[in-house]
Amino acid sequence: MSYNVREHSYVVGGLGVTGQACVRFLLQHQASVKAFDTREQLTLPDDIALSLAGKVTTKPLTKHYFDGVDTLVLSPGLSLDIEQVTIAKRCGVEVIGDVELFARLNRELASPKNVVGITGSNGKTTVTLLTNHLLNACGVRCIEAGNVGRPVLETLQSDADVVVMELSSFQLETTSSLSLNTATILNISDDHLDRHGSLENYIDAKQRIFDNAASAVVWRDGEFVSPDADAEQAILQIVEYGLGESDTGFAVAKIKGVDTVVFNSVPLIKLDAIPLAGTHNVLNVMAALAICHELGVKPEDAIRHLNSFESAPHRCVEIANENGVRYIDDSKATNIGATVAALEGLAPMTQGRLILIAGGDAKGADMQTLVPYLERHVAHVFAIGKDATRIAEIFERTTLHDSMQDAVRAAMTLAENGDVVLLSPACASIDMFKNYMHRGEVFKEAVALVLANKSIAQKVTP
């Protein structure tokens, strides 16, 4: 069945970055559009404000608001449980997201774009950007989109042949017909339980990525990351990867005594030659190579371009190295699983101790699951934010601080040659910062300031 935007009347729910992109796209295609937002104070770009003059409401919706409306395009930041969605459904209005709208319109293109879907609790952005980099470097016209930042509807008018989508559980909730050349769930850990209500619901949302996928890339040792029985029947091929030994797929093997990533037993790269820090990033590299393989690019060709990849900021990035102490910004670790990945990945490569700065809004997660990893790897935690006391309750070697600056200062006092001071919060940032990027920048500034003050103090000391 064909899908013509002009024949539909739309409401866009939520006017953040995604919602604004939806409005622009729909108006460009001469659709009927109005919008609501749940924020009372709303500042819009001039073009959106002008285009939707008199058509934006921030007040409670009346029962007649959806009269004559076919489709509600809901931004991923808004829950399906809000009153506005309930009213829409009661009025017979279909509720979709921008990814589902992309899926329907992509099918109408003379040459539909090949699409890759990447989800998981952690590592999504790294794998999305790395896959995009490797494919482009190998001559495949490719563009990244979705949760990584670029609204998916913008890709329909690009000259890319492949769209690599980072997909959150929120986006997948409102997606039903997205056809994917290959799909992957990188990993699953407690996250967004305040939104989904339970781990089971969160997993169900993630599993939707396999519903219309031709192939799947699966972490061999992961839980809940394989397609369920119904989805697996329709999937043509599964490529596995993992850190253990295996004759098939991507694995790690000893070759002349050196740990090496292999594909179907063919050597690709030595582990110590991978420029991204931590064993969790070895898995990320394998996942990206597996996706490239499913799009017709040989892993041995793709791996040649790994060294030219620039890692995204705030994802296990070293920001300073002073007196043998490394300072690593992993502010993107907004859930427990991400922090666990950082600890497990960095510990084998750390000569001294791991000193952790953590805390923020835990989003309803069970902090107790962090305990074994803190006990195994962490010398001390300097905790900040809304749920800092929850960390202190589960880990004795924790001190509480009112600011990032105080936590950094205390961590630096403890740190010695060979140690790592790691910001990996295991929590969201919105209780103290604008977002995780802002949190990472504040950490970087605090490190630079304390190091500078130390240097000055050393110079003036007789």
Catalytic sites, residue numbers: 124, 147, 192
Amino acid at 335: N
Structure token digits, residue 37: 């937002």
Tokens 């919706």 correspond to 61
- CA 409, 410, 411, 416 dihedral sign is positive
Q: What is the distance between the alpha carbons of residues 314 and 333, in angstroms, rounded to a whole number?
A: 8
How far is 118 from 216, CA to CA, in rounded Å?
10
The answer to whether 23 and 46 have CB atoms below 8 angstroms apart is no
What the block records as the tokens of 445 is: 């500034």
> What Å distances lie between residue 105 and 98, 157, 337, 419, 441, CA to CA?
11, 11, 35, 52, 39
Residue 231, φ and ψ in degrees, nearest 5 = -70, -35
Extended strands (E) in 129-265: 142-146, 162-166, 182-185, 215-219, 237-241, 250-255, 258-263
451: how many CB neighbours lie within 10 A of its CB?
A: 17
Interstrand relation of 354-358 and 215-219 (parallel, antiparallel or unpaired): unpaired
